[in-house]
Structures are given as C-alpha cells and as structure tokens.
Amino acid sequence: MWLLRSVWGWLRIGWLRRCRGAAALGLALCLTAPAFAGTQSVARQWNEELLNAIRHDLARPTVHARNLFHVSAAMWDAWAAYDDVADQYLHHEKLPTTNAQADRKEAISYAAFRLLYHRFSTSVGAADVLPALINRMVALGYDITDSSTVGDSPAALGNRIAASYIAYGLTDGSNEANNFANTSYQPVNEPIVPDLPGNPDIVDPNRWQEISLNFFVDQSGHVIPFGYPPALSPEWGIVKPFSLELQEANVYSRDGFDYWVYHDPGPPPHVNGVGDDYYKWGFEMVCAWSSHLDPTDGVMIDISPGSIGNTALPDVNDWAAYYDFANGGDIGTGHPINPVTGLPYAPNVVPRGDYARVLAEFWADGPNSETPPGHWFTILNYVNDHPLFEKRMAGVGPILPDLEWDVKAYLAMGGMMHDVAITAWGIKGWYDFIRPISAIRWMCDQGQCSDPGEISYDPSGIDLHAGLIEVVTAASSAPGQHHEHLAAHVGKIAIKAWRGPEFIADPATDDAGVGWILAENWWPYQRPSFVTPPFPGFVSGHSTFSRGASELMTLLTGSAFFPGGLGEFHCPQNQFLVFEEGPSQDITLQWATYRDASDQTSLSRIWGGIHPPADDLPGRQIGQVIGPEAFNYAVQYFEGVACHGDANGDGAVDLDDLQVVLYTFGTSDVAGDLNHDGNTDLDDLMECLTAFGGSCGPT
C-alpha cells in the first residue's frame, strides 16, 4: 500500500513542482511554447516544439538525441539551400532567392513540421504534440495542407528535405520502422525485485539486470504496466553517426550480432576479476554518498563557483583521489574571480543534504523531461537569450543574425548529442555493466570482505567502513545502540543511507531521511516506480552527454564561462523536489563554466545512486573528445569544406574510402552510403571518385 500511495503522490506533485522550479534558468520545462516566440528565430521556435514533443514522449535519450540531430540538420539544410558557401548535410539542393529571409523561414518550417509530425505521430503524447505542431504552423502563417514536393517554392523544398530525412531515418540502423526494438540483445540475469530483500537470483554480478516492478513510470512520467521496459538501445552503436569516424570504432560480436563500440574505453572493473578492488570501492562510495541526503545532519557547504568546480579530469590511476569518498564532491576548489565582473563569487552556503538531493533531481531531468540531450539544448537556449551574450561564431567575427546562429548552433549541438548517444549506448550494449542497486545488494548478500576472522566473511562481499557500512552484531544492536532496530538481523550488512521510498507516504510532505538500514533493502534516490534507468550503466550517458556539451559550448561561444561569468538555477523551498519533500530552504545552483555544470551532472548521478565512478569518468573523457570533434566537423559545413566522398571520416578521400564503398556496394550498409539515401550505389561511387585525392576533413 505504501508503494501505491507514494507513486500517486509522485505523479500528482511532479508536474506542478517542475513548472514552479523551471523559470530561473529559462529551461522551459513546462512550456509548450515560449511566451516570447514572436521575437525568436523560426529555428528556435521549432526547437522549442521539439523539446515540448520530447517531454510528452517516452524518456528515450538515444531516440531523442537522434530527433534533435535530424531536425536540426533538416533546418540547417533548408537554411543552407539559400547560401552560396554553406554545405548541406543530407539534402543537397541549392535554390535561387530574392528574399532569403522569408524563403528560409518558410522552408525551415515545412521541413521541421513534416519531420516532427512523422516522428511523433505514434508518440504516447501525440494527442498533445500534433496539435501544437499544427498551431505553430498556423501561427507562422503557413498552410499545413501544402504537402507538394514539386517545384522551387520554399514549401516544396522544405517538404523534400523532410522526405529525405524520413527516408534516411528508415535506413540509418536505428530500426525506426520497428519502434527502435532490439534485434539481438538479451539480458543474462533474471530481474531483481527491489520490493523484496537482496538480490538472490543474479547469475553474473558484472552484467546488467532488469528490474521487476508492478508498473514502471519513466522519467517523463509515463506509466508502463506489468513490469519494466526492455533495455533501451543496447545496439545503438550501429546507427549512422554525425562526425564519428570508422577508425574510432571497435566491432565485437556476441550471439551473432556485431556491436560497434566507438571510443572504446575497455571493460569496466569486474568483481572477482580484473579491477575487483575498484568495483567494490566504487559501489561503496555510492553507499557512502547516499548518507549525505539528509538536510538536517548539520553539514553545510559553500556551493558557489568560488568554492567548487574548476577541476581537470584525472588520469586513470588518480581516480580515487579525484572524489571525496567520505564527504562527497570532488577536488575542485573553485574560481577565485569572476572574469567578467573582476570580483570574487559571493558565498552560497547551503545544507549538503539539500544540495545533493537537488542535484540528483535537477540533472535527472524528470518527470516531464526533455532527457539529457534536450536538457543541454535548453541550456544552449538560455545562453542564447542572455542579454550579455553576443552571437559570434567561436567568439570571434561579426555578430550573426539570430536565425543563422541558431541553425549553426543546433546542427553542432545536435550532431554532438547524436554521436554521444551512439558512442555511450554502443559501450553500454557491449560491456553490459551492472547498476548500483543490483551490485550493492548482491555484494551485501555475500557478506563482508574486510576481515576473515569476523562473522559474515566472504571474499566477494563488501568492504566495511565504520559509520557507513557495518555488520550488525549483538553489541551494535543492543538496546540504545545504533543498530538497535536491526536486532533481529545479526550478521547482516547495514548501511547508513537514504532510507528509501517505504518511509515516504506522501512525497509532498514527507522525506525519507538518512538512517541505518539493511543493505538488502538499499534503494537509489529515485521514485519506487522508476528505481534506475532501463539500460546498462557503463558508461554514464549523463556524464558523456554533459561533458560533450560543455566542450562544444566552450568552442561555440568562444568562452568557457557562462555569460556574465555565472549561470544559475533557482530551486524554491519545499517546491522543487519531486521524489520527496524539499529542499528545506531555497537553493540556487550556480556554475561559472560549462564544464562546472557538466561536472555537477556527473556527481549528481553518484549522489542519486545511479552510477559508480567507474561509469562516470570514462564517460566524461569520451565526451571531452566528441565535443570538439563534432564542433569542428560542423564548422566544415558552415564554411563549405565538408568532405564529400570521405567514407571513413579520416579527412582524406583515398583508397580506403573507395574500398568502403565497393565493399558495401549494393547494400543498405550506412558505411558506404555517402549521400545518405539509404543505399550504397553508383551515386555513392561517383561521389567518392569525383572527390578522390582530396583532403578536407577533420584532422
């Protein structure tokens, strides 16, 4: 009964609190259209429609990264059709114009409308999304019945562009025609039942495990009855990317399926195998940070940019020193001066328990979420709207018109997000790594591995940490002692942690607090109808998306810093949190740089019980590579030097590319499909031969 009451409470208060909390950063989490749409470019208006559509759909980061990229690329192709220099991405067609501004606006609108209508026509939120798309077209003054693809009108061009992307989307490896269903992947473990103690049925504690629920509510608030959705996109590595190069991928085979793994980080640590100590240490740190989720514990911290942030990523051998195991956070000491104002950042002292909970919910993006890729588009839009921001490409040159800036920024950001999704989920699918709820419960079922001479010893068990992870003993559970309430469980492992949803009858008024619980009942800081994302953990998608976005934003804007040297998001007292009551006071998240925001994203997933460090830092390192790669690749399209004919993406058109085209000739293999029409054929061969010997790609 507690579960039913709690779930109803989460669904009831989630929407209201997110709406109240969204205004300060301008994230538009609860808006179907921006109030100031009339002053925004048409590309921005359609981007807002896409973000609204994502919030109404299932929470599918891979699918929506692809949607954000394809819609952004379609708008770019429409804009570039009326530019003598720019290269188009998929639909290569130039048209004359006597009024480029009006023609671009119309072509972009038809391209975006048709593509969005197609992509969301079967969405769970179609009843809300499709009328909004129609209303946008009507507000812009366009006829939605004009579906002609014949002629040189901007509407016909936009319809042709949309048709190209729709056709491409059916051949890009995503399996869109079958609602993105997996074709081969199967989990090796039986599901864990989080409402029952422990994890007794797991077969391989290094592999991912589904969760068995009466019903699942995804991070966009959609109810999926009778269990848990299948693993999301473990085969996504085969999807056609934006800037990723063939030589960056390793291809592995399992059960007859080829898993493409770009930027392969190697395997995560394995218990009872290579990295056993790091496996245990990482999940133990997740337990330790769970003890921080209590705003009444008296711990106060300064979360201003003058005190936290400004960290460089560590080398592999320094990972343990990067995090503060006992107190939370990392080694960052902040920025001494705001470079824009020349003044120190003002202190921002808050309860650690509020900060950690707010971070966990803010960066979780749900309920009613635009998912991590969309979240960073809202941050991009926030920066674009800032009165101190000047829209100069890479921070130099002339200030660009709003429309030109938006289509260029969206192409770069969308392409990067799509590449990150392909990379991160390719890694997730192949390495198939376990989530904390499964690993922590399993280890603690085995016992403790710290002292062979003490009770409950097992080499596969968890390390003990005084005051955090302990064995319940007769002495510790004696009357008046800290395990007194666990006296019936001598010999079991206890954790000082967030006590879980059983202690929350109404999330509008209750918080679970922190206390000693049996480890077999440990929960991540999440709703009981969600528990943990429905896909493997390694590498963290949040870490990879966010680091890629922060690197791209730095290059795109020409500055590592938010406009004015400060980005902020206000979380009002007892109105922002959805999982439980809180925060206990007003909390304002602050970031000096885009990287600082990215680093907070990564830490939030550890505090939330979703990822150990082994998932986090490899994701950040991969994002740090993909962000610049995608930006530099997008710039080629802006400058008209995109490398047509470069099948393997190495920046030159040579025998290697010709071999790719010839090897895939006559198939729908995306590797040799240079013109993105769904087939490798004579047109692709001619494109390669025409460009043969050229050099123009990324180096």
pLDDT tens track for 146-193: 999 999 999 999 999 999 999 999 999 999 999 999 999 999 999 999
Mean pLDDT of 635-659: 84
Confidence (pLDDT) at 227: 66
Residue 375 host element (H or E)? helix 371-385
The C-alpha angle 71, 378, 86, rounded to 5 degrees, equals 40
DSSP β-bridge partners for residue 249: 262
- Cα-based distances in Å from 493 to 233, 278, 473: 35, 20, 9
Least Cα distance to 497 among 527, 472, 474, 469 occurs for 469
Residue 22 has pLDDT above 70, yes or no: no
Find which of 19-33, 35-49, 572-586, 674-688 is predicted with most confidence, using mean pLDDT: 572-586
- What confidence tens digit (pLDDT) does each residue in 195-241 have? 999 999 999 999 999 998 876 676 566 666 666 789 999 999 999 99
- What confidence tens digit (pLDDT) does each residue in 416-464 have? 999 999 999 999 999 999 999 999 999 999 999 999 999 999 999 999 9
Can you say how many angstroms the Cα of residue 441 is from the centroid of all Cα atoms in its chain?
Answer: 26
Residue 624 host element (H or E)? helix 613-639
CA atoms within 13 A on the CB side of 588: 14
- What confidence tens digit (pLDDT) does each residue in 248-271 have? 999 999 999 999 999 999 999 999
Write down the residue that tokens 């994230």 correspond to: 27
Residues 6+ apart with CB under 8 A from 238: 173, 258, 259, 260, 426
Q: Where are the domains of the chain?
A: 31-181, 437-521, 643-691
Least Cα distance to 627 among 531, 572, 555 occurs for 555
**Which DSSP category does 306 fall into?**
T
Q: Which two tokens stand for residue 624?
A: 């740090």
Confidence (pLDDT) at 683: 77
Residue 245 has pLDDT above 50, yes or no: yes
Q: Which fold has domain 643-691?
A: Type 1 dockerin domain (1.10.1330)
Percent of the chain with pLDDT over 70: 90
Confidence (pLDDT) at 315: 85
Residues 6+ apart with CB under 8 A from 381: 26, 28, 44, 47, 48
CATH of 31-181, one of 1.25.40.10, 1.20.144.10, 1.10.3470.10, 1.20.1600.10: 1.20.144.10
Least Cα distance to 334 among 301, 297, 288, 379 occurs for 301
Mean pLDDT of 557-568: 99
CA dist., res. 58 & res. 63, Å (int) = 10
Residue 15 has pLDDT above 90, yes or no: no
Of the chain, the end-to-end C-alpha distance in Å amounts to 60
- What confidence tens digit (pLDDT) does each residue in 347-392 have? 999 999 999 999 999 998 644 589 999 999 999 999 999 999 999 9
Confidence (pLDDT) at 662: 87
pLDDT averaged over the chain?
92
Residue 30 has pLDDT above 60, yes or no: no
